[in-house]
Structure 1
């Protein structure tokens, strides 16, 4: 998204050259990370464009803090409804140091 500096927060439009302006953009970014890092990538999010980035992400964690979308919850490898729950999940599965 593009915003004007003054007045603060005025929406101007979308940057259509940004990968995330497309429905498959997050998956493209995950692929770039995989190619650069050569290590598994996990995706955390609350929407279908987040979920659709898995694959190529190894794991998708649905994050329903602000809104719970039933389809996202159904297809998630894991689903959390609080930051504390997410942190505990990541620690318990050794995904967070």
Structure 2
């Protein structure tokens, strides 16, 4: 051991991202999110979630406010029509079961 002063450095916790996390963050940034594609958002709204996908529509920056209002009304009407159709099928099937 020498008597020379030691030099060191301290890394504050959470300031340096490990390499494996940096690589993952870069991959996610390149892939983008579903909100970046109008067609992906509309597909999710009409095929997968219906009205439950409205937050995805409103979070997307690809749609203008007017487009968001338009698609919001269309999706709500579509969801209401699906629910009405489901109620009618249930009433029909219960009616057949009672007879």
Specify which structure has the bigger relative contact order, considering alpha-carbon pairs within 8 angstroms and separated by 6 or more residues.
2
TM-score computed with the length of structure 1 as normaliser: 0.27
TM-score computed with the length of structure 2 as normaliser: 0.26
- Structure with more strand by fraction: 1
- Structure with more helix by fraction: 2
